[in-house]
Each structure stands twice: as structure tokens, then as C-alpha cells.
Amino acid sequence: MNHLLEILLALSLVFNFVLLGSTRIGACVIWMAMQGALYSLVPLIAGEEITPRILVLATAALAMKGGIFPWLLIRLRRRTSFHFEVEPYIGFIASLLVGVCLLAAAATLGQRIHLTAGGYNEGLLTTAFFTILTGLLLITTRRKAVMQVVGYLVLENGIYLFGVGTVVEAPMLVELGVLLDAFVAVFVMSIAVYNLSRKFEVTDVDKLAELKG
Amino acid sequence: MALISSILVPASGLVLAPLLVAVINRVKARIAGRQGPPLVQPYRDLAKLLGKGAVYSTTTTWLFRAGPVVSLATALAALLIVPLGGVAAPVHFTGDLVAVAGLFGLGRFLTVVAALDTGSPFEGMGASREVTFAALVEPALFLALASIVATTRMGSLSSAYGAVDAALWSAAAPTLGLVAATLLVVYLVENSRIPVDDPTTHLELTMIHEVMVLDHSGVDLAFIEYGAALKLWLLGMLLVGLVVPVRTANPWLDGAAVIAGLAGLAMVVGLIESTMARLRMNNVPALIVGGGVLAAVAFVVGLNP
């Protein structure tokens, strides 16, 4: 198997745990961006040959995941809140331990599923599942609205990796469309969080439950 | 030949272990702009302490006297099992990694019990901290060693470390790299080095290991210091044996490479101690759990080739 890909996947597994253990929103955004950048390089490394199509896709993904998303989020965090802490519902050590359980679940899942088409290897599937689960964990256990966006993007990273590993030849239009969707989602979420913070002066998602229509 | 080389493994540890402490201190002194003590200083300290009599408090029992003896004895026993890189240790059997971890645990238990036996609240505090961190670091050590064993498909530490060569590194680099990172964390925690504990401080409220041995003196203190040096050497062998994949058929060459690697490790520890501050006490568990998580990732990656 491709050794470079293996190292890259192991690195991104570690990034997931760093995301779960980070106490600062800014750090989370940076790690999320680095993970996204790593994943956008996967098609270049894993494929047998580099076609112009792959090159365009990888460049677009790199620009989005490694540049535009983190830039939007850092800007958002700077405007919305004076507190840079993540403020989780469950502690950071507990998050890490839950992460280990999720990793075990992802590994089982990665070994069980046998894909007929594509499928570079089990490690890639395991990493993709684990990244998806990490994104879900971040969304459900973090209090700040900005972290929900980070969690969504981690989830998106995982889905992207799953797509790269399983779908051999998706039309370029579809893949670029998915990237554009994610971009619009982040854009809309930033505006929503920004307006929330302007209106209510908090971005704590706990407070959202108290809103009445 | 095999017999001579396997006797060489514990013998080199017995002789050279205090030198590791000296190298760390020398590096720290040089970075701080000082001359630093001579490299033979730990040996001189040990000789001086061995020539002195021990003082025992009247409130202590036999447990207090057993502490230093058992902690040294467990370190010596572990020295017979841990291999020097590719050079097999004199004693090896399937599952001996559990025995090594158990020996560390036994030594620590007696040190803790001896500290509690003095009845000093200060030592009780140190014992409590030591046990808390030990409970976290032990799974990390187990997972790290289990990953090595799972990657090499060998039962004992000696055969597993013997199988870690350049070819295995190129085939399973992520696993071994993550395990090495975990072992470095374990190394710093188990030997109470700086991000966790400061070995140079006495009588400070934040210290962990040193506070437990405050009441020991003379020969007992020499035993403890020598046992600590041996532990530095033992865990260093586990880390360096993995990171330095020199596996020629010649045991002298392999052993020399690992011993040179241990000197390098001592310098790295000196650098870490000079450049980092100690972590706040409530942040230490995050460091240890983080190290354990790296080992867990290594284990999954290792099982998922």
C-alpha cells in the first residue's frame, strides 16, 4: 500500500484527537483546516496517475478547506465573542476517551464494509468514519455556536474522504457542487451566528433552547 | 556468544544508568550557561550515601524500610527482561511485557506505601498524586507495548524488539512513530521529568515523586536514587530500542547503537527540561491521556494494515 497515504491518514487520526482535546476555538479552526488540507491532497497521493481533473479538484478543495473556511471562521470568532474557550458539555479528557471508543467503532465499521468499486483500503474508510463521528461529537458536545460550524466542517471533511475513497469517477460537476454547497452552508452559518451574537450578545447554544417563537 | 551478549544487556544498565542522570544535568547546566557537575557526580553521590547510616523515625514500621529495597529490586528484575534494542535480554518469555509493567507497579506501590507509613501529610499528598498519574500512565504503557507486539507478531519483548528493523519501520511507520511518541510521554511521566514533575525541587507544594522520598536517608536514599536511575535507563531502552532500528547480526554493534541513542535521549530530555515549564497540575492528566490516545491510534492503525 501507499506509505505516504498511510502516514497522512495516521496524522489525520491524531488531528481528530487534537480537535477533541483543544480548549481554544482558534486552535480548533486551525487544526480543522489542516485536516481539510491533508484530505484534499489524498486524491493526488492515492490515485495511480494525476489527471487534470484530479488536479483541479484537489486545488479547489485545498483552497476551500485550507483557506476560505478557516478564514471565514476566524473572522467570525473575532467578531462574535470575547471568550475564546471551547466550553464543552463533557470534559476534554472525557471527549478524548469517547473519541477512543468512536475510533474502535470506526475501525470495526471500516473492516466490515466491503466495497465492490473503488475503495483504496480499509484504513481510509476507518479514518473517514472516525472523522465523521468526531464531527458529530463536536457538534453535540460543544456549547459555542462557532464550534458547531467547526464540527460541521470536520463532518464534511470525513464525508469528502469517504467519497474520495469509494467513488472512482464522480462527475467533476458533482464534486465541485458539493464543495460549493459546503461553502454556502458555512457562509450562511457565519451570518446566522453573527446575527445571533449581535441580537442576544451570546452564542451559547444552550440559550437557543429558551427562545420562543 | 549469545550468553555473553545477553549478560551484557543488564550489566551495561547497572554500570551506565547513573551516567544518564549526569548527562541530563550536564545539558541543563550548559544551556543555563553554567559549567555543571562532572559526569561522575551521580556515582560519587551514590558512594557517599552508601557510606552513611540511615535514620529511621520511631513512627515508621518495617514498610518504610522495605520501600527502597523493593523499588530497587523490582528495577533490577526488570533489567533482566528488557532488551537492549536488538540484543535479547537474559530472561524472555511470552507476555513478559506484562511482567515488566507489573514490576514497575510493584516498585511504585512499595514507594507509595513507605511514604504513607511516615504519617506525614506532605508525603501522603505526593503519594496521592503519584498514584493518580500512575493509573493514567499504565494503560498508555500497556497499549504502546501491545502495539509493538501486535505489529511484530512476536510474544516477548526481546523477540519483538529484535524484529523492529529498518524494513519494519518503512512498512509500519505510522504505528511505530505514534508508539514512540507515547513512550516519550510515558518516559517523562514515569521518571518524573519536567512537564510533569521537577526532579530538582525539594520542599515545593507542586512536586510529586521527590516528596515521597523526603524521609529516606543514607543507604536507603542511595537505593532510591540508583533505582530511579535504573528506571530512567529501562524506559529509555524501551523507547530507544524502537527508534534506533540498527539490527546487524553483531550484538556489540547493536548494543552500542542503542547506548548511543540513550545518550541522545538524555540530551533531548535535558533540552525539554531547559525549554519547557512544568504543566499546571490539573493539566497533567490531559497530557498523559493524550499520550495514551496516541497509543490507541497506533494500535488501531497497527491492526488495520
Question: Which of B:155-184 have CB within 8 Å of A?
Answer: 170-171, 173-175, 177-178
The pLDDT confidence band at residue A116, using thresholds 50, 70 and 90, is low
pLDDT at A209: 74
Reported as type and span, the H/E element at residue A162 is helix A145-166
Phi-psi map region of A201: left, alpha, beta (phi>0 left; psi -120 to 50 alpha)? left
pLDDT at B187: 95
**Are B300 and A7 a contacting pair at CB < 8 A?**
no
**Are B294 and A9 a contacting pair at CB < 8 A?**
no
pLDDT at A120: 58
The C-alpha angle with vertex A155 and arms to A209 and A88, in degrees rounded to 5, equals 45
Q: In which domain, by residue range, is B8 found? A: 2-303
3-state SS assignment for residue B4: helix
Residue A14 with chain B: CB contacts under 8 Å = 178, 294, 297
pLDDT at B208: 83
**Are B304 and A9 a contacting pair at CB < 8 A?**
no
B127 in contact with chain A, both atoms CB, cutoff 8 A: no
**Are A104 and B285 a contacting pair at CB < 8 A?**
no
**How many CB atoms are closer than 10 A to CB A179?**
20
Q: Is the predicted pLDDT of residue A21 greater than 60, yes or no?
A: yes
pLDDT in tens, B233-264: 999 999 999 999 988 888 888 899 999 999 99
Instruction: Count how many pairs of residues, chain A against chain B, have C-beta atoms within 8 Å.
Output: 59
A93 in contact with chain B, both atoms CB, cutoff 8 A: yes
**Chain B interface test: which of A103, A124, A129 (most B C-beta within 10 Å):** A103
Q: Which of B235, B286, B238 lies closest to B133 in space, CA to CA?
A: B286
The pLDDT confidence band at residue A85, using thresholds 50, 70 and 90, is confident
Residue A99 with chain B: CB contacts under 8 Å = 293
pLDDT in tens, B37-88: 999 999 999 999 999 998 998 999 999 999 999 999 999 999 999 999 888 8
pLDDT at A170: 66
Comparing CB atoms, the residue among B171, B285, B300 nearest residue A107 is B300
CA atoms in the 13 A half-sphere facing the CB of B111 = 32
Residue A3 with chain B: CB contacts under 8 Å = 170-171, 173
**Are A17 and B297 a contacting pair at CB < 8 A?**
yes
d(CA A44, CA B33) in angstroms, rounded, equals: 49
pLDDT at B174: 86
Comparing CB atoms, the residue among B178, B286, B303 nearest residue A10 is B178
Give the chain B residue whose CA is nearest to the CA of A22.
B286
Comparing CB atoms, the residue among A3, A6, A93 nearest residue B289 is A93
The pLDDT confidence band at residue B304, using thresholds 50, 70 and 90, is low
pTM: 0.88
A105 in contact with chain B, both atoms CB, cutoff 8 A: no
Comparing CB atoms, the residue among A10, A13, A21 nearest residue B290 is A21
Q: How far A128 CA sits from the closest chain B CA (Å)? A: 13
Reported as type and span, the H/E element at residue A92 is helix A92-112
Written as nine digits, the cell of B34 is 553554567
d(CA A152, CA A135) in angstroms, rounded, equals: 6
A4 in contact with chain B, both atoms CB, cutoff 8 A: no
B296 in contact with chain A, both atoms CB, cutoff 8 A: yes
3-state SS assignment for residue A24: strand
Helices (H), chain B: 2-31, 41-50, 62-79, 96-117, 121-152, 157-163, 166-171, 173-190, 209-212, 218-243, 251-275, 284-303
Question: Which of A:60-89 have CB within 8 Å of B?
Answer: none
d(CA A13, CA A18) in angstroms, rounded, equals: 9
Which residues 6+ apart lie within 8 Å of A146 measured at CB?
A: A25, A73, A76, A77, A80, A81, A193, A203
Residue A107 with chain B: CB contacts under 8 Å = 300, 303-304
CA atoms in the 13 A half-sphere facing the CB of B29 = 12
Q: Which of B69, B156, B153 lies closest to B114 in space, CA to CA?
A: B69
Residue A119 with chain B: CB contacts under 8 Å = none
The pLDDT confidence band at residue B283, using thresholds 50, 70 and 90, is confident
The pLDDT confidence band at residue A109, using thresholds 50, 70 and 90, is confident
Q: Is the predicted pLDDT of residue A53 greater than 60, yes or no?
A: yes
Q: How far B181 CA sits from the closest chain A CA (Å)? A: 11
Give the chain A residue whose CA is nearest to the CA of B174.
A7
**How many CB atoms are closer than 10 A to CB B147?**
26
A96 in contact with chain B, both atoms CB, cutoff 8 A: yes
Residue A9 with chain B: CB contacts under 8 Å = 174, 301
Per the CB < 8 A criterion, the answer to whether A21 and B290 are in contact is yes
Q: Is the predicted pLDDT of residue A118 greater than 60, yes or no?
A: no
d(CA B87, CA B254) in angstroms, rounded, equals: 7
Written as nine digits, the cell of A142 is 460543544
pLDDT at B188: 93
A14 in contact with chain B, both atoms CB, cutoff 8 A: yes
pLDDT at B24: 94
Q: How far B174 CA sits from the closest chain A CA (Å)? A: 5
**Are A104 and B303 a contacting pair at CB < 8 A?**
no
Q: Tell me the β-bridge partners of A24.
A: A85
Considering chain B, what percentage of its residues have pLDDT values greater than 70? 97
Q: How far A123 CA sits from the closest chain B CA (Å)? A: 6
Q: Which of A107, A109, A126, A112 lies closest to A165 in space, CA to CA?
A: A126
pLDDT at B267: 95
User: What DSSP line would sit under A69-87, residue for residue?
Assistant: HHHHHHHHHHHH-S--B--
d(CA A203, CA A190) in angstroms, rounded, equals: 11
Instruction: Please tell me the least confidently modeled range out of A99-108, A179-188, B28-37.
Output: A179-188
Residue A13 with chain B: CB contacts under 8 Å = 297, 300-301
How many domains are there within chain B?
Answer: 1
ipTM for the whole complex: 0.77
Q: Is the predicted pLDDT of residue A122 greater than 60, yes or no?
A: yes
Residue A100 with chain B: CB contacts under 8 Å = 293, 296
What would you measure as the largest C-alpha separation in chain A, in angstroms? Answer: 56
Instruction: Please tell me the least confidently modeled range out of A79-93, B138-152, B240-254.
Output: A79-93
